[in-house]
Structure 1
Amino acid sequence: MALNFVRERCPNSHLFALLIEDSQILVSRVQHIDWRHTLREANSVAGILAKKGQELIHGLHVFDYPTSDIKLALRLDGIRSFRLRG
């Protein structure tokens, strides 16, 4: 649904309408984007960052260096290894 909102728009009344609009502006600056769905198990870095985001205060956070858990996830994602949920 999020991907469809970025590609096609969402209602102005949507809770994340401004974030989606910002995403659309960024997308318009890139010449070519290859949109692909990736299962959470195959993108553990994104999962770890999403969990960390829940613990941080609202706003932009920049990580200069990957934490140890992200380093491991980067290695696993790089060799296309994945962990099953459940």
Structure 2
Amino acid sequence: MSTLALPSLKNCFVSQVRVTGDHRLAVKFQDALIAELHMGEWISRQHGSMIEPLKSPAFFADVSIQRGVLTWPNGYDIDPFSIRHWAEHGMD
């Protein structure tokens, strides 16, 4: 049986974020890994009152970092382990 190597939580925290286009973010993690995430397709498949506003590119662009976690003005945030996984392996 193989085990999945998970990054440490510290390495999952985002230190910088920059909007690079509609539903696209460049993120830098605390261990200096930099990745660009194309999140439009993922967001379009999600449902619920918290994520619906993110479907607007203008609202999506209002992302911030709160304690290392990508967060939007309505309080929606994305698990840092997911962000790190997407950065390393893609969003498929």
TM range (shorter): under 0.3
User: TM-score of the superposition, structure 1-length normalised?
Assistant: 0.20
User: TM-score of the superposition, structure 2-length normalised?
Assistant: 0.19
Higher helix share: 1
